[in-house]
Structure formats: structure tokens, C-alpha cells
Amino acid sequence: MKQYFLYFKWLFAITALLGLIYAGTLTLHSAARAGERENTECLTSERVFDYGNVLSDKEENKLRELIAKREKQTGCDIVIVTLNESLKEYARDREPDVSYEEFVRVYAEEFYDENKFGYDKPIGDGVLLVDNWFREDNGKIYTWLCTVGKADEKYGSALVDHLLDNVYRYVEKNPYKAYKTYVNEVYHDMTGTGEITAFLPYWLPFVLSVVIALIFIAVHWSYKKGKKTTLATTYVSGGEPGMNRKEDTLINKVVTKRHIERSSESGGGIGSGGSSGGGGHHGGGGHSR
């Protein structure tokens, strides 16, 4: 057994090195901080505004604790607002032609600005989720993610849709889980960490290396190396092999050249570009259910 471990020592060395790198990466991510909060003008320290009464007091406190941790890691204010009222009059007083699906957008942007949220400065880096449980005249419930500052730069439409899809996966049956998912998704998106990476233990690569080695030994144990009983000259007359010498001799070389006409025209790929939509300093997107 010892010879197998010695033979595959490079495998163990590489796996151990990967394990150390992996553990170091997790340590750096867990210790990552965005620096101290610089916004001293924010009008509130509250981050969970459950006006729709869909959370228990215990759930609100757990969300506050999680948000406090994630804000330091992301450098963004993270705010949750639940409602259970029509925003039609509120929104159209401010934007007369606004559509139903953007009532929550108007509310979210006003709420963010009025409270001067922002980790780095008033109306600075941060996100705000407004989930209105009221069914508007058109029969739909609307949710909006408002992004500001570096969060606005990070969140394109695809990333916004992904986050809100994950929130909607739980929101009807378990609002707390949905809003916890929102907070953690912001953390993963803003720091570049993945959920799978976050939950894999650092010792896993070492265990895998041992398991792989044991499986290999079990499979190949019956093929242990033995003595050679047959040599290359065993069945050769006289005990010495005879070698026939063959050579290839170059007799003549013919080179043919042909001129190929080429068109002077060339084609290029078609690229596309886009600019960020919306005005001002707010970004984000919404869903309905």
C-alpha cells in the first residue's frame, strides 16, 4: 500500500495545495469588509420596514442582524419595505402618466431619497426592495428593486430578474425566507461569491483526495507488479535478436507553385452596444405576481 501512496504523492500534493487555496479564499471572503460607513446624514438606522405586517417581530430582528453583517461586507445599504396598500394615487401625484407596474418604482425611489440612504454618502451606494402585497386595479401585485451607486452599476436587467425570481420563489409561502434570500443574493452579487462556495467546508478537498486514493488502491490491488518471466529475447534463436536495416533515399524533388487570386474586400463582425436606461441616479427593475 505504501508504494501506491508514494507513486501518487503528486496527486496528494496538488489536492492539498488546492485545498489550502480554497480555504484561504473562503477566509478572505468571510473577513472581507467594505470599510466603515461614511454616510452620517441618513435619517434612520432602520432597514426593515414591515408596513404590510407579513413578518413576525423575531423575523424582523433576524433580518436586521443579517443586513447589518451584509452591509459591512458589500459596502451598500440594504433596505426592505413591505406594503399592503394601493400606490396608484401616490405614484400618479408625482408622475401622472406612470404605469401600474411602476407605481412601486416611484415609491421606492422617493423612499430611498427621502431617508437619504447610501453607505458612502446620502443617496449613495445601496439597494431597496419594495414588496407591495396590495392587488392593484389590474389584478396584480408588484415588487421593485431599486439600485443606487455601485449597486446600480452592478445590476443589469438580467441580474435584477435573477434576484427577483429567487425572491418570488418563496414570497407567497414564506416571506421571511424570500427577504432573507434577497439580502444574501445582494451579498453574493456584490462580492462575487457563490452560494455553493459559501457552504462547502474547507477540509473537503483533503477528504476527497484520501477517498480517491483508497478507491484507486482497492481497484488496482490485484494488479501488483511482479517479476518479469519473459524477456524480449526469450523466444529468439541464439538469444540475440536480428535487425533488418531499411532506408528511404530521396531521388528527386518536384515543387509546383500556383498563384491564387484573392479579393481585396474583407468582412467584419457586427457588434452591438447599449446604454443604461432610466434617468437620474436610480436603477433596478420590477416583477409582478
In the chain, what are the domain boundaries? Answer: 37-200
Which CATH number applies to 37-200? 3.10.310.50
**Which residue pairs from 187-194 have beta carbons closer than 8 angstroms and sit at least 24 positions apart in sequence?**
187/70, 187/73, 187/74, 189/154, 189/155, 189/159, 189/163, 190/74, 190/75, 190/76, 190/150, 190/151, 190/154, 191/29, 191/32, 191/73, 191/74, 193/29
**pTM > 0.85: yes or no:** no
Q: ∠68-69-72 over CA atoms, to 5°? A: 90
User: pLDDT digits over 217-254, tens only?
Assistant: 666 555 555 555 566 566 656 666 666 666 555 555 45
d(CA 174, CA 118) in angstroms, rounded, equals 28
| pLDDT surpasses 70 at 95 | yes
Q: How many CA atoms lie within 13 A of 286 on its CB side?
A: 21
- Higher pLDDT residue, 253 or 184? 184
Least confident interval from 81-85, 110-114, 252-256: 252-256
Distance CA 224, CA 115 (A): 74
Higher pLDDT, 40 or 263: 40
CA angle, residues 116, 160, 139, in degrees to nearest 5: 90
Its sign, for the CA torsion 260, 265, 266, 267, is negative
Higher pLDDT, 94 or 210: 94
* Mean pLDDT to the nearest integer, 24-28: 45
Q: Please say if the pLDDT value at position 184 is more than 80.
A: yes
Per-residue pLDDT, averaged over 18-29, amounts to: 48
162 compared with 234, residue with greater pLDDT = 162
